[in-house]
Amino acid sequence: MIKLIDKFLSSVFPSAHIFIKNKYNYFKKKYHPQLSKNEFIAIIKNDLKIETGDVVFVHSSMRKLYLDFSKGDILSILREIVGKEGTILFPCWQFNIRAEDYIINNEIVFSHKDSPSAMGKISESLRFNSETFRSFHPTNSVIAIGLRAHELTAGHEDDIYPCGIQSPFFKMMKYHAKVIGIGVTVDNLTFVHTVEDVLKEKFPIKTRMDKIFECNCIDKDGNKKIIKTLVASKAVSNRDVTGFFNREISPNLCVRKRIKGMDFFSLETASIFEKVKDCAFQNKTIYLD
What residue ranges in 193-276 does DSSP mark as E strands? 213-218, 224-229, 254-259, 262-268
Inter-CA distances, 62 with 117, 120, 221, Å = 14, 7, 32
State the Cα–Cα distance between residues 170 and 73, nearest whole angstrom: 29
Q: What is the pLDDT of residues 215-231, one digit of tens each?
A: 999 999 999 999 999 99
State the Cα–Cα distance between residues 288 and 160, nearest whole angstrom: 25
State the Cα–Cα distance between residues 220 and 229, nearest whole angstrom: 19
Give the mean pLDDT of 86-114: 96
State the Cα–Cα distance between residues 268 and 218, nearest whole angstrom: 34
Give the mean pLDDT of 100-104: 96
- Per the prediction, the chain carries an average pLDDT of 93
State the Cα–Cα distance between residues 141 and 144, nearest whole angstrom: 10
Q: What is the pLDDT of residues 73-96, one digit of tens each?
A: 999 999 999 999 999 999 999 999
Q: What is the pLDDT of residues 166-205, one digit of tens each?
A: 999 999 999 999 999 999 999 999 999 999 999 999 999 9
Q: Where are the domains of the chain?
A: 1-31, 34-281
Residue 133 CA to chain centroid, in angstroms?
16
Percent of the chain topping pLDDT 70 = 90
Could you write out the DSSP letters of every residue in 126-151?
A: HTT-TT-EE---SS--EEEEETTHHH
Query: Residue 54 pLDDT > 60, yes or no?
Result: yes
Could you write out the DSSP letters of every residue in 18-46?
A: HHHHHHHHHHHHHHSPPBPHHHHHHIIII
Query: How much is the pLDDT for 23?
Result: 66
CB atoms near residue 224 (< 10 Å):
10
What residue ranges in the chain does DSSP mark as E strands? 55-60, 87-91, 110-111, 133-134, 142-146, 178-182, 213-218, 224-229, 254-259, 262-268
Query: How much is the pLDDT for 6?
Result: 61
- DSSP code at position 47: I
pTM of the model: 0.89
Query: Residue 16 pLDDT > 90, yes or no?
Result: no
Query: Residue 1 pLDDT > 50, yes or no?
Result: no
